[in-house]
Amino acid sequence: MALRFRKVTGKNYHECIALEVREDQADCFYFKSPKPNMMSMAEAYVFGSGSQVLAIYEGGTMVDALFYVPDIKKGRAWLTRLMIDKRYQGRGYGRKAMGMLVRRVKREGARRLGLSYEPHNKAAEALYTSMGFRPGRKNEAGQIVAWLDL
Ligand SMILES: CC(C)(COP(=O)(O)OP(=O)(O)OC[C@H]1O[C@@H](n2cnc3c(N)ncnc32)[C@H](O)[C@@H]1OP(=O)(O)O)[C@@H](O)C(=O)NCCC(=O)NCCS
């Protein structure tokens, strides 16, 4: 399985916003939508200082996307969002994409990678803790914040 990241452009934008999680996973996102990519891109545009939007491909198939903000001056990066389309979950793509992100932000100069997830999101928790992320305090939105030392 050869995964790679590609930028989201005018050519694959529609494909990206059409991707979706299962209905019961909509509450993994604070705005509770099974199709979060349009909102994630809007947030990256409005709030993201240097926010990166990366589509995740296996061959010619976009299996979904992740969003992160490098803050290299502070030696860290923040994963804003990760999702794998409902058709492609459970095949190792999430784990592999996270491994690729870790290597990427390390190359970019980050020494820590942070993220947050809903307390009930056991799949995300299992994935992140198995990679070495250490869960800590909750943020203002009630999500658990976790950091990985790189
Ligand atoms: C969380 C998510 C990204 C995982 O992606 P995925 O490609 O399905 O996951 P993988 O197949 O790579 O599995 C990686 C690990 O995730 C965990 N996991 C995945 N699905 C799970 C499930 N249904 N229940 C419990 N753990 C699960 C396991 O620890 C798994 O490790 P394993 O392969 O050793 O069993 C995906 O389920 C998703 O998009 N969920 C909805 C959005 C979301 O929760 N995003 C993260 C919010 S911060």
Span 48-63, pLDDT tens digits: 778 999 999 999 999 9
* R_g of the chain computed on alpha carbons: 14
State the Cα–Cα distance between residues 57 and 5, nearest whole angstrom: 6
Q: How many angstroms does the Cα of residue 73 sit away from the middle of ligand 1?
A: 31
State the Cα–Cα distance between residues 52 and 38, nearest whole angstrom: 14
pLDDT at 47: 87
Q: Which CATH code fits 3-149? A: 3.40.630.30
pLDDT at 49: 77
Span 61-94, pLDDT tens digits: 999 999 999 999 999 999 999 999 999 999 999 9
Ligand 1 environment, Cβ below 6 A: 21, 25, 28, 82-84, 89-95, 117, 121-124, 126-127, 130
pTM of the model: 0.96
Question: Does residue 101 contact residue 68 with C-beta atoms inside 8 Å?
Answer: yes
Where are the chain's structural domains? 3-149
State the Cα–Cα distance between residues 78 and 81, nearest whole angstrom: 9
pLDDT at 57: 98
Minimal-distance CA residue to ligand 1 atom 16: 127
Q: What share of the chain is helix, strand, coil (3-state, %, to 5)?
A: 35, 35, 35
Span 137-148, pLDDT tens digits: 999 999 999 999
Phi and psi at residue 19, to the nearest 5°: -70, 150
State the Cα–Cα distance between residues 74 and 110, nearest whole angstrom: 8
Span 98-134, pLDDT tens digits: 999 999 999 999 999 999 999 999 999 999 999 999 9
